[in-house]
Structure 1
Amino acid sequence: MKLAVAFSLAEQRFALPVQWVEQVVRAVAVTPLPKAPPVVRGIIDFRGEVVPVMDIRQRLDLPSRPMALSDQIIIARASGRHIAFCVEAIIGVVEWDGADFVATNTIVSGVEFLDGVVRNQEGMILVYDPDAFFLPAEQLMLDQAMGQDHVHG
């Protein structure tokens, strides 16, 4: 049985595997980060660590919108660093077995950051792979914008 934290964006349902998720917090002010890749909304302070906030909406080609006070931020560990994802709502934890899961590459090619689709009684949930979120050039831009000269991985 696999587990993931399910969340909503633009009335669609997505999930992150629980092994990547460290904490869910309420929306906080995001500070813009100059020279960061466009997919980075800015940075936040998480327990004394500067953490980039990703714009999942942009990566998933969803309509852009400003952050709302009711939004949630998922803190995950991926690509060798903490990453924050702003989502509209946490749905809960979903579980599935192999029969309920369809790998993305069997449906469509070229969507590297999605791991697959879980089918359950509520419908379908796209399972996201946070380790594949950044393109190599974006990872390099983010490292440079955050003053780091090494590549995470």
Structure 2
Amino acid sequence: MMPQPREVLLFTLEGHRYALPLEDVRELLRAVRLTPLPQAPAVVEGLLNLRGELLPVLDMRRRFRLPARPLSSSDHFVVAQAGPRRVTLRVDRAEGLLSLEANQLDAAPSELPGVGYVAGAIKLPDGLVLLHDLRTFLSEAEALELGEALAKEGARQ
């Protein structure tokens, strides 16, 4: 179970706001061109070379069933910790940090299907923001497939 965050990073995708616990966020970057990663799961958009470390870029639009769109220089990359693996998330825009009050976060209802990687909902005056748990973002099969693709890519370098 995910500990309750005190601060979150708010970001937008297709006009919708989402959040990540700040303790999972490592840094924010402007989007740059990606290197394709053959044999990676469909949720992986490509590879980012961040100071010599190859990081998979997860396609948040695909995961959230939003329309695809080409990479733009105005997009942001969020480098984050997803369990044992560092990943990069492409988002339309990182909005900033939000300090949470104790009554603002509701745990995700476990009885609803399809909320496996949602850790809760943040209640804001202008609506709800879903808080995501990156530790559960990739399925076991996707994590294995990604590990194999990264191993093959590392062997080629």
Give the TM-score of the pair, scaled to structure 2: 0.89
Match of 1:52 in 2: 56
After superposition, the C-alpha distances for 1:47-88 in whole angstroms (9 at most, x for unaligned) are: 210000000111111111111110000000113121000011
CA distance in 2, matches of 1:36, 1:67: 18
User: In structure 2, the residue corresponding to 1:141 is in which secondary structure?
Assistant: helix
Aligned 1:1-153 pairs, distance under 5 A? 2-105=6-109, 108-147=112-151
User: In structure 1, the residue corresponding to 2:109 is in which secondary structure?
Assistant: helix
Runs of 4+ in 1 over 6 A off after TM superposition: none
Give the TM-score of the pair, scaled to structure 1: 0.91
Q: Which amino acid aligns with 1:47?
A: R
CA distance in 1, matches of 2:99, 2:66: 25
Which sections of structure 1, spanning at least 5 residues, go unmatched?
A: 149-153
CA distance in 1, matches of 2:82, 2:90: 15
- 1:102, CA displacement in angstroms? 1.6
CA distance in 2, matches of 1:76, 1:20: 5
The two structures, once aligned, show a CA RMSD in angstroms of: 1.5
Label 1:144 to 1:106 Cα distance change in 2 as closer, same or farther (>3 A): closer
After superposition, the C-alpha distances for 1:10-38 in whole angstroms (9 at most, x for unaligned) are: 10000110000000000011111000000
CA distance in 2, matches of 1:107, 1:144: 33
Label 1:125 to 1:107 Cα distance change in 2 as closer, same or farther (>3 A): farther
CA distance in 2, matches of 1:107, 1:141: 28
- 1:110, CA displacement in angstroms? 3.0
- 1:122, CA displacement in angstroms? 3.1
Which sections of structure 2, spanning at least 5 residues, go unmatched?
A: 153-157
User: In structure 1, the residue corresponding to 2:151 is in which secondary structure?
Assistant: coil
Q: Which amino acid aligns with 1:84?
A: T
